[in-house]
Chain A
Amino acid sequence: MNTPLLAILFGAIFVNNIVLMRFLGLCPFFGVSTRLSTAIGMSSAVLFVMTFATWITWGVYHLVLVPGSVILGGILPQGLVFLRTVSFILVIASLVQLVEMFLKKFVPVLYSALGIYLPLITTNCAILGVAFLVIDNKFGFLQGTIFAIGTALGFGLVMVLFAAIRERLELAPISKSFRGYPIAFIAAALVSIAFFGFVNMFGISP
């Protein structure tokens, strides 16, 4: 794949937005987007972990699991690709723990800002989803990094947009059965329609 880096970045933020087009990371999207401050905190934590997780899972896949890899190629020429799901989820779970410990010890300012969001991220399907998408799209290391950063920025953009909408929704007179989740889904549908405007922009298709 020789997609230009700028196209990967734009596509990941707008055209194939992780939440509105790919339906990944819906739990934090609906759970944490009620306040602008929490939305920004969660998005920063996702940006941080998604980039790291993509580097490490890319490394695990290309250096250990693929047939004829650098590390295991000599012993297991047929590769260990079937361990992809197991190894990725374990790597991501340990990575989140590691990041949490590291931040707590060395960057307490960042820890106090992102700390409460980190445990939630382990089960965030967006992180694992991006790790799989990078492999499935056959991205190189740099392309994968750009893709992860773009996806996280797209997540942050939608989180911030949506937090603004939800802060207003709380004051709106909404009928009883629509309060909470239903109106949030319908608002998400409208934001998603807006994002359809980006489809095929600069020739990037979903």
Chain B
Amino acid sequence: MTPDSGNLDLTQKEIKEPLLSPKPKAESNWQIFSKGIILENPVLILMLGLCPVLATSTTVRDAAGMSAAVLFVLLMSNIVVSLLRKIIPSQVRIPVFIVIIATFVTIADYVLQAYTPDLYSVLGIFVPLIVVNCIILGRAEGFAYHNGVGRSILDGLGKAIGFALAIILMGSIREIIGKGTWFGMSVSPSWFRSNAVLFFGLPPGAFLVIGLLKACINKIFKREG
């Protein structure tokens, strides 16, 4: 890359004053943990990592499987990045983060493939694609690289629970209306199950549900956009 390209300027600026610099006095441990669940929910508020949320929320089981994989990768990458933060040179930190994340994604990929083949066949390429999920790289860069292990674990847990909450909420809505079941258990009368609204299990239903959810959240939090 040549010195005058925009990307490098950004990198140098970030080295001097990290965009999301740690504020240890302002935030208690509880705040770090709880922020990711509602107020800075990575999916429903910040709109990050949408691809797996829409693709793997057809049923609650798929959503839970995806959440578990993301929880594992986010937690482990936060821990490792945080432990190595004094060793990783800041010029090459992004490639290093990507290799660390890709390592845990590969582990998650093989574990799911070995122990839950049914789930793996549904999740398909979205398990290896966790590697480009911007939530995980964003936490490595924005939090774990500047904070200790304990705080990074709390941050990773909070953000992963926020992600799980959003995707399981989507999965619940889509499975209950689209199939009349929840986690495979029947929750509706049989006449509904035999006439369930298939639309919600299909791709257009995913777009519709997340659009309406986001509108409700904007209404509740008095936000726009």
Contacts and interface: CB of A to CB of B under 8 A. Distances in A.
Q: Do A and B bind each other?
A: yes
B122 interface: no
Interface of B: 1-2, 5-7, 47, 50-52, 54-55, 95, 98-99, 102-103, 105-106, 109-110, 124-125, 128-129, 131-134, 137, 202-208, 210-212, 214-216, 218-219, 223-225
Given A100-B1, A125-B132, A178 B215 contact: yes
Interface of A: 20-27, 30, 82-86, 89-90, 93, 97, 100-101, 104, 116, 119, 123-125, 128-129, 132-133, 136, 176-186, 188-190, 192-193, 196
Contacts of B212: 182, 186
A83 B203 CA distance: 31
B204 A132 contact: no
A20 B132 contact: no
Given A23-B54, A23-B55, A125-B51, A185 B109 contact: no
A196 B223 CA distance: 33
Nearest to B211: A185
Interface on chain A toward B: helix, strand, loop, or mixed SS? helix
Given A23-B206, A26-B51, A176-B224, A183 B211 contact: yes
A125 B124 CA distance: 14
Given A21-B203, A86-B103, A133 B125 contact: yes
Contacts of B202: 196
Contact of B51 (A24, A84, A179, A184): A24
Given A90-B98, A101-B2, A181-B47, A85 B105 contact: yes
10 contacts: A23-B52, A25-B51, A27-B134, A84-B128, A85-B109, A124-B132, A183-B211, A189-B206, A189-B208, A192-B204
A128 B5 contact: no
A188 B211 CA distance: 9
What 4 A-B pairs have minimum CB-CB distances, sorted nearest first?
A185-B211, A180-B225, A189-B207, A23-B55
